[in-house]
Amino acid sequence: MSLLDFFLRPRKENTAKVAKERLQIIVAHERSTRGGPDYLPQLKQDLLDVIRKYVAISPDQVTVQLDKKDDLSVLELNIMLNGDKKPGEDDTAQPHVEDKVSP
């Protein structure tokens, strides 16, 4: 499965709520040497700052997920553009962060 196919795969989301425009940023860090630096958590803020150079985004449009498994860490930023708020989010919300660490 190519990357394009991965992103074009049908998703279970409620299509009515699907943002008219969406930006997804994924950073996968494979480290075969234990104890090497894990800079993904700090990278998150830098990536948001870079995106803000191109498009205005507020925290409630951003979902952040950090998964770890074996030697792989995957940071995923989902940004709903042009004002589409995630369902149930109000204006004062902080970026919704989910840290999932698999055994």
> Which positions lie near a second copy, rule CB under 8 A?
1-4, 6-9, 19-33, 36-37, 39, 42-43, 46-47, 50-51, 53-55, 67, 69-70, 72, 74, 76, 82, 102
Nearest-approach distance from CB 62 to a second copy, in angstroms:
14
All residues at 6 or more sequence positions from 43 whose CB lies less than 8 Å from its CB, including other chains: 27, 75
| CB half-sphere exposure, 87, CA atoms < 13 A | 6
The terminus-to-terminus CA distance of the chain in angstroms comes to 25
Closest to a second copy by CB, 10 or 92: 10
Closest to a second copy by CB, 26 or 97: 26
